[in-house]
């Protein structure tokens, strides 16, 4: 007899995402890259912990997500899995891990699921990814789609720009969303899309949309954890709201530590054995 993964009885599933859409309940998603933050966001009650390939920029200082590797995503996915008990764990598939062929996509996505304990993977791209997504869903790998600004295509898109501002590209996004739903995606991220376009897409689908820079009418929202905490204070796009200013607090705390070490007041007797 098989056993369920090490998640709590109330763990969020892909079916819950569909039920939340139907009930009009907003989905909360944040990124997490390690066990500690995985545990903290899980305890805070998020619905989805996304191990985003944004870790390549946030943690590694790279200029884009393009150089993220499959091994890197698996390593961080395994770490986050140790911290997350309730939220749905989704792993970004990195550039060229799923675009070369359907067979390679199945192999790599299957490896991610097997080695991390994630419940789903996320793939970027619209209609061009339909056959790949369908192949994954058919063998039991849940897929979250991602359209609008797709960071792995940043050079083809001409930079980090809002997508769907004109009628032609807006209609293409709407068609892509419909194609992803028909292929079997259980949810779609809409990134840097005009609010009106994101609203039309959200209303047209039976699966939920999760927005980032796509207005308030999506079925949920996602932010990079380090951005919403104000740790990455050099990053300030229009769509971002900082819910804390931890960069200043980190500087203050480390500065206080340095001052006490240099002044000989730390460690004190109470910190010594």
Which are the catalytic amino acids?
Answer: 191
Cα(192)–Cα(172) distance, integer angstroms = 15
Angstrom CA distances, 42 to 10, 74, 76, stand at 12, 19, 16
Cα(92)–Cα(49) distance, integer angstroms = 11
SS3 assignment for 147-168: EECCHHHHHHHCCCCCCCCCHH
The token pair at 130 is: 């339909």
Please state whether 247 falls in left (phi above 0), alpha (psi between -120 and 50) or beta: alpha
Half-sphere exposure of 129 (CA within 13 A, CB side): 30
The residue whose two tokens read 């206080």 is: 256
Count of C-beta atoms within a 10 Å radius of residue 147: 26
Cα(214)–Cα(209) distance, integer angstroms = 10
Cα dihedral sign for 143, 145, 150, 153? Answer: positive
DSSP class of 198? H
């Amino acid at each position: 007899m098989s056993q369920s993964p090490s998640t709590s009885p109330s763990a969020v599933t892909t079916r819950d995402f569909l039920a939340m859409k139907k009930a009009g309940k907003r989905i909360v998603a944040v990124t997490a890259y390690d066990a500690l933050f995985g545990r903290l966001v899980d305890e805070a009650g998020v619905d989805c912990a996304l191990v985003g390939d944004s870790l390549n920029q946030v943690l590694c200082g790279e200029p884009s997500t393009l150089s993220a590797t499959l091994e890197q995503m698996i390593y961080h996915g395994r770490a986050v899995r140790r911290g997350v008990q309730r939220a749905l764990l989704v792993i970004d598939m990195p550039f060229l891990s799923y675009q070369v062929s359907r067979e390679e996509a199945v192999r790599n996505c299957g490896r991610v699921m097997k080695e991390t304990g994630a419940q789903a993977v996320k793939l970027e791209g619209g209609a061009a990814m339909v056959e790949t997504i369908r192949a994954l869903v058919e063998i039991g790998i849940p897929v979250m789609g991602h359209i609008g600004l797709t960071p792995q295509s940043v050079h083809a898109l001409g930079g980090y720009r809002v997508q769907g501002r004109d009628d032609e590209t807006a209609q293409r996004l709407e068609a892509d969303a419909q194609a992803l739903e028909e292929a079997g995606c259980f949810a779609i991220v809409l990134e840097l899309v005009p609010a009106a376009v994101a609203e039309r897409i959200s209303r047209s689908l039976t699966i939920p949309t999760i927005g980032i820079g796509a207005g308030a009418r999506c079925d949920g929202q996602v932010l990079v954890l380090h951005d919403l905490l104000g740790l990455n204070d050099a990053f300030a796009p229009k769509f971002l709201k900082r819910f804390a200013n931890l960069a200043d607090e980190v500087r203050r705390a480390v500065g206080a530590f340095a001052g006490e070490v240099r002044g000989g007041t730390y460690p004190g007797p109470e910190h010594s054995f």
